[in-house]
Amino acid sequence: MATHFEGRFEVEFKYRLADRAAFLAALAPLDPEVMLEDNQERDCYFDSPARTLAAEGKSLVIRAMAPSGIRLWILKGPGPDRCEAVNISDDGKAISMLHNLGYEEVLVIEKRRSIYFLGPFHLTLDHLTGIGDFAELAIMTDDEAALPGYRQQLLALAARLGLDDAQRETRSYRTLCEQQRESL
């Protein structure tokens, strides 16, 4: 299970779901391994006062999941494929350390998440209040040369699940939440 989240690179495709139940019905015959279902996640995004991380295309996130108890320190970027995460035991202490280093909390995203495994791939089913339901199909690796092949395999998996390019969402959850906040 842990190997699904190891690596410096991540290939990920996100799809907006119009019908969550229909997607779950398409997933069931593939007999996925369930890691967790309906966990509540709280992602706290941090940046410097000058927003240097955002300018460099990076996101620094502390994630707390309940009831699973998983706590992660995540760095995404630069670039769409770069992603590293490490388990931490105390998200409150990590947040305090970031504040002491001069970082500010710039955004909090809360979502309901289920995680499934299909062979080497992981699939997350997310609900963000006011934004919608999404399926993310992904794999992490240290082998940068494997990324193009994984992209093709994930697109084939998406097709098996009834997902198509019209449903593809290329914006990050951070961007979607920031855009929603700006439109209010």
List, by residue number, the catalytic residues: 45
Question: How many Cβ atoms are within 10 Å of 91's Cβ, its own excluded?
Answer: 18
Collapsing DSSP states into helix, strand and coil, what is residue 148? helix
What per-residue string of b and e applies to 38-69 under the rule 16 or more CB within 10 Å gives b? ebebebbbbbeeeeebbeeeebbbbbbbeeee
Among 99, 88, 32, smallest CA distance to 65 is for: 88
Q: Which residues pair with 77 in a beta bridge?
A: none
Sheet containing 71-76: give its strands across.
Answer: 9-17, 132-141, 121-128, 104-118, 33-47, 59-66, 71-76, 83-87
Q: Which residues pair with 64 in a beta bridge?
A: 42, 71
Tokens of 42: 């709280």
Q: Which residues pair with 181 in a beta bridge?
A: none
